[in-house]
Amino acid sequence: MLQSELFTKTIKEVPKEEVSINSQLLIKGGFIFKVMAGVYAYLPLGLRVLNKIKEIIRQEMEAIGGQEILMPALTPKNWWIKTGRYNNFKALFKFKGLGDKEYVLGATHEEVITPLVKNFVQSYRDLPVYVFQIQDKFRNEPRAKSGLLRGREFSMKDLYSFHTSKEDLDRYYEKVKKAYFKIFRRLKLSAFTYLTYASGGVFSEYSHEFQTIASTGEDTIYLCEKCKIGLNQELAEKEGKKCPQCGSKNLVKKQAIEVGNIFKLGTKFSQAFNFTYVDKTGRNKPVFMGCYGIGPSRIMGAVVEVYHDKDGIIWPEEIAPFQIHLINLAKDEKRARKIYQSLQERNFEVLYDQRKESGGVKLKDADLLGIPWRLVISEKTGNKIEIKKRNKKEVKLVNFRELFNYIKIKNV
C-alpha cells in the first residue's frame, strides 16, 4: 500500500489522560483512535493487527474442533436472573428499551450459550459440543486507564465446551491448554507468558490464567521460575505463596497482564437452565461445561507493552500490519517503485513510503509504526537496498535477490 494513500498518519498529540504505553504508541502511530475512556476505534493499521491476532486464535480453536458462531451483544435480563449474576456480576451494563424491555450488554456469554446449546442437545449422541465466537464484550469498569489492556468495550474470543462427564471435560480442558500455549507461541508472547493458577470456584480446585509479564500489567502474580508456573494474587492470599507444582516457596513477585483464562464451569450453568441430556441407559444427566477466553484487543495492547523501545512499536512478524516498510529517499522514484511492484508480485505485504517528506520524518515514522523489515532506497544505496530489522541496530546493503535470505515469503 502507498503510505500517501493510507488513511491515518502519525500524530504528535495524544490525549493527556492516556498514560499507558500501549495507547500512547498506538494512538501516535495512527493504529487506534480514542472515542472515550476504555473505548477505541481501530484504524486501518490497527485493524490489520487485530485481525491477524484474531485469525491465529481462530485457526487454533478450529484445530481443536471449535465451531465458530456469533452471539449478540444484547442479552435478556431474565437469563442473568436465572444464573444469579444479574446482581452479582458488578460490571454489567444494564438498560431499558421501548416497552420497558430490559437488556444486559454481554460481558461474557454463559447466559446465552447455555440455552442456545440446550436447544440442540437432547442425547449423549449430541455431545460433546465445542463452540466459540470472536466478538465484542462490554464491561462497566470503574477505571479504564490502561489503553487496550482494560476496555469498557473490547474484543474477546470465548470458547465454550459441553460434555457428558467431568472426565470428558477434564480431557478437553487439557487440550485447550495446549492450544493456548500454541497461540501464545505464534503471537511471540510465550517467552513472557506463564500458566498461572487461580481459584476454581465451586466445581474445580483451580482454574488457570495465562499471564504475560509486563511492568505495566495490572495483575500481580507469584512466579516459580523453575516450573515456569504462576500463582495469582487471590490464590496466593488464600493458599499461601507456594508453587502448586514443586511446592517451592521461592516465588518471585511480578506485574503481569492476564491475556487468557480457562475455567471448568462444571454444572453451574447447565443446572441454572435445567440443561440435561439422556444417557445411554435413558437417564437424564447434567451437562458439564468449560469456558475459555482470550482477548484479542488486550493481546494487541500486551504485545506493544512487551515489544517497544523509546522510538516506537516493534511488531512481531506474525501480527505486524505489514511485513515490509519500503522507504524511498531518492529524488527519482523509479527504482523504488519497481522494487515495490516486485515485492507485491511476490505476495509480500508492503507499506511503501513515497511521500514528499524529509528522510528524517520518514525514518522516525517507520520506527514508530514498527514494521519488522525496513528497506531504504536512496542516492547513497546505489543499485543496492539498505535492509534493517526493526529490533536490530545492524544495517546491511544487499541486492534485490539477497533480500530473500532475510525476509521469508508468507502466505497471507
Q: Which residues bind a second copy (CB under 8 A)?
A: 5-9, 11, 30, 33, 35-37, 39-44, 47, 50, 65, 67-76, 93-95, 97-99, 101, 103, 112, 116-117, 119-120, 126, 129-131, 136, 138, 140-142, 152-153
Q: Say how far apart CA 394 and CA 134 lie, in whole Å.
A: 39
Q: Say how far apart CA 239 and CA 254 lie, in whole Å.
A: 18
Is 78 or 391 the residue whose CB approaches a second copy more closely? 78
Is 1 or 398 the residue whose CB approaches a second copy more closely? 1
Q: Shortest gap between Cβ of 338 and a second copy (angstroms)?
A: 23
Name the CA dihedral angle for 312, 317, 322, 323, rounded to a multiple of 10 degrees: 110
Q: Shortest gap between Cβ of 168 and a second copy (angstroms)?
A: 16
Q: Say how far apart CA 263 and CA 210 lie, in whole Å.
A: 12
- DSSP for 295-318 reads -HHHHHHHHHHHSEETTEE---GG
Point out which residues pair with 278 in neighbouring strands. Answer: 123, 284
Q: Shortest gap between Cβ of 393 and a second copy (angstroms)?
A: 32
State CA 163 to chain mean position distance.
27
* Contact (Cβ atoms closer than 8 angstroms) between residue 290 and residue 161: yes
Is 106 or 372 the residue whose CB approaches a second copy more closely? 106
Q: Shortest gap between Cβ of 35 and a second copy (angstroms)?
A: 6
Can you list the positions of beta strands (E) in 175-228? Answer: 193-199, 206-213, 219-224
Q: Shortest gap between Cβ of 76 and a second copy (angstroms)?
A: 5
Q: Shortest gap between Cβ of 121 and a second copy (angstroms)?
A: 9
Q: Shortest gap between Cβ of 194 and a second copy (angstroms)?
A: 30
Q: For 97, phi and psi rounded to 5 degrees? A: -110, -165
| Nearest by Cα to 137 from 154, 151, 150 | 154
Is 161 or 232 the residue whose CB approaches a second copy more closely? 161
Is 8 or 271 the residue whose CB approaches a second copy more closely? 8
The three-state (H, E, C) secondary structure of 126-155, written as one string = HCCEEEEEEEEEECCCCCCCCHHHCCCEEE
Is 130 or 263 the residue whose CB approaches a second copy more closely? 130
Is 137 or 390 the residue whose CB approaches a second copy more closely? 137
Is 24 or 255 the residue whose CB approaches a second copy more closely? 24
From the number of C-beta atoms within 10 Å of its C-beta (0-12, 13-18, 19+), residue 63 rates as: exposed
Q: Shortest gap between Cβ of 281 and a second copy (angstroms)?
A: 20
